Every structure is written in structure tokens, then in C-alpha cells.
Structure 1
């Protein structure tokens, strides 16, 4: 009887930790308080509150985001057109990587689909910047965050398993992508504040 009660109590505690809601725990720091939406909000808040989102630096951040967004949309559109025009041509990637399962034709179709989705996200980002629409910027932020998360995970896995060596160019590329994501989040947060205070007139290009 003692052993059965001990086992059932342990199972009960295990299930309690995994299936009960977060508010059942009063501790601020707990390894069981895992909520993806909370983590996402904390991550975006960290990016939005970084040093490059200060008032004095915002005009520079804003125009950098404008020009880099236009450049990114043009480059992505050029890549999509190249893949349509030359189905057998060699395509480039922005970091060193290895593919183990998919062949070139499947990779090309996946790349074409992802580039097309990204193109829509780029156009929505540009529209959101020009028209002061934070909601239009959200798809680009979501797609870029997902892509970067997967890229960093795969790159880190390949480095620790010895498949790839640490390449300074890859580190710089990852850093620049994350930094630009932070700048876009900064602009989006300023837009949200301006719209709430009905002061978006000072942020409109047209």
C-alpha cells in the first residue's frame, strides 16, 4: 500500500507540472512556466527596447529600415524571377549549408515557394512603413523570426556536431539579420505608440 501511494503521488506530481496552468505556481522563476506567447512577447520587447530604438536615433533607424526594405524586396523579386526564368540554374544561399535529404529539383521548388511568400511579406513591410501600419509589418516580422530561429538552430547543430566550422561571415550574416529585425520591431513599436496617441502625422512619408 505504501509503495502504491508513493508511486501514484509521484505520477500525480509529474502530471500536475506538465498539464496545470501557469497561475498554479506562484514562483516568478520556474522551469515549468513555459509559455511560447510569453517568450515571444519578451523577445520582441527586448528587441524594441534596445539601444538603437532611442528617440535621437530613431530617424536614422527609420530611414535605414526604409532603404534596406526596398533593397530586400528588389533582391528577393530578382531571385524569384531568376528561378522562374532559369529552372535549371544554380541558386545561391546566404550562408554555408548542407542538404542531406532533398534533391535539387525539390530544393528549387521549396526555395521558389518560400521566396514567393517572403516577397509578399516584403511588400507588406514596405506598405506598413509608408502608410504607418504596424499590422502590415507583422507578417514580415513573423516570417523572419521563424526563418532565423530555424537557421540558427540548424547552424548551431551543424557546428557542434562538426559538420560545419565556425565561419565569421556566417556569424556576421546572422548578426545583421537579427539587428535588422530589431530595427523593424523598433519602428513597429513607435508606430503603435504614435497611433495610440494620434500623432502618426509626423511619421508619414506621403
Structure 2
């Protein structure tokens, strides 16, 4: 009997804490929306769920290293393909149709863009090795611009009904944004470490 009363008391206590307030009731109001307070609380919640924390930073860092090496290698292979095989068919991750530019103009544009992206990848790798946030900035700017254009074109095609919503395309877009966020996380950690002169714990070589 005593155990049953104890369990019942504990349940009532939990319900009271969940649905009733024991603090100051004067601070609650139906007119005090406080949008900035709500935004700060939501921002703090998102930051608490962020991967850019001390305990998860090693995973983020080495994922950025691996993806950077893979991206640089793949872009180098793509650049060599465009350079050495001018008659080869251009392969893109999302199929597009261009009705204004001819084949050779498209190939020149692809060659220039691949060269720019290749330089950005190499600077990103150098920035990771040398702990140089400034060297990582070109890749962040180029990728942000490309992703902004990609998202705009994709949303425009979806809204106008020219393109159905494809889960694979959406997942690819989200993963690119996620990787961009990880690179920005590494860059911000580098900046803080350089400012506090504790970059020795972040050096690969």
C-alpha cells in the first residue's frame, strides 16, 4: 500500500511539473510576444544541436579533409577529361538543356569553371593543412554562389512545373549545403584558434 501511494505521489508530482507552473505568474502575458527573445531562444536551440562543438569537431574536421581530397581529385579528373577529350559528352550531376550556347561555347565555359573550382579546392586543402581561414574563403564563396544559383534554378523549375520534385536531387542539394556548413565550422574554429594562439592542436603536419 505504501509503495502504491509513493508511486501515485511521484506521478502527480511529474504531472504537476509538466502542466503547472511554480514560478512567478506576473512574467506571463498574452500580449508580450518578444520576437527577439523567441528568436534568441530558437537560435540557442539550433546552436545546441549544431555539430560545430568541441566533442564532435574531430569528426567534422576529418570528414572535411576526406571530402576535400575526394572533391579535388574528382574535379581534377573532370578537368583533364574536358581538356583532353574535346569531343566527349559533357556529364553533369543534374541534366540541363542549353538552347543559346553551342557545344564549343559550353565546353569553354565548362573548362573555365572547372579550372576555377579546381583552384578553390586546392586552396581549401591548403587552408586545412596550413590552418589558414583566408585560404578557405575562396572555396566557400564559390560554393555559396553555385549553390545559390542551383537552389534558385531548381525551385523555379519546380514551381513552374517543368521539373518534378526528385528526392535524389533534393538530397544532393541538402548534402552540399551540409558540407558547406562543415567547412564554415572548420574555418570558424581556425579563426578562434589563431586568435587565441592555440592552433598547435589543429595541425595535421
| TM-score calculated relative to the size of structure 2 | 0.75
Give SS of 1:170's match. helix
Give the superposed CA RMSD. 1.7
Distance 2:119 2:58 in 1: 26
Query: Are residues 1:76 and 2:75 paired?
Result: yes
- Mapping 1:107-146, distance limit 5 Å: 107-146=106-145
- Counterpart for residue 197 of structure 1: 196
- Counterpart for residue 41 of structure 2: none
- Counterpart for residue 148 of structure 2: 149
Runs of 4+ in 1 over 4 A off after TM superposition: 47-50
- Counterpart for residue 26 of structure 2: none
**How many pairs were matched up?**
161
Distance 2:147 2:108 in 1: 20
Distance 1:77 1:50 in 2: 35
- Give the direction of change, closer, same or farther, for the CA distance of 1:50–1:78 in structure 2 (3 Å limit): farther
Contact kept, 8 Å, 1:48 with 1:182, in 2: the verdict is no
- Counterpart for residue 10 of structure 1: none
Contact kept, 8 Å, 1:65 with 1:180, in 2: the verdict is yes
Aligned-residue offset at 1:104: 2.1
- Give the direction of change, closer, same or farther, for the CA distance of 1:48–1:144 in structure 2 (3 Å limit): farther
Aligned-residue offset at 1:101: 1.9
- Give the direction of change, closer, same or farther, for the CA distance of 1:132–1:49 in structure 2 (3 Å limit): farther
Deviations 1:69-94 (A, max 9, x none): 00000000000000111101011111
Distance 2:188 2:103 in 1: 40
- Counterpart for residue 38 of structure 2: none
Deviations 1:45-99 (A, max 9, x none): xx99861111111000000000100000000000000011110101111123332
Distance 1:50 1:117 in 2: 34
- Counterpart for residue 164 of structure 1: 163
Question: Structure 1 stretches of 5 or more lacking a match?
Answer: 1-28, 30-46
Contact kept, 8 Å, 1:48 with 1:189, in 2: the verdict is no
Give SS of 1:51's match. coil
Relative contact order (C-alpha < 8 Å, sep 6+): which is higher?
1
- Mapping 1:32-47, distance limit 5 Å: none
Question: Structure 2 stretches of 5 or more lacking a match?
Answer: 1-34, 36-45
Aligned-residue offset at 1:100: 3.0
- Mapping 1:82-121, distance limit 5 Å: 82-121=81-120
Give SS of 1:176's match. helix
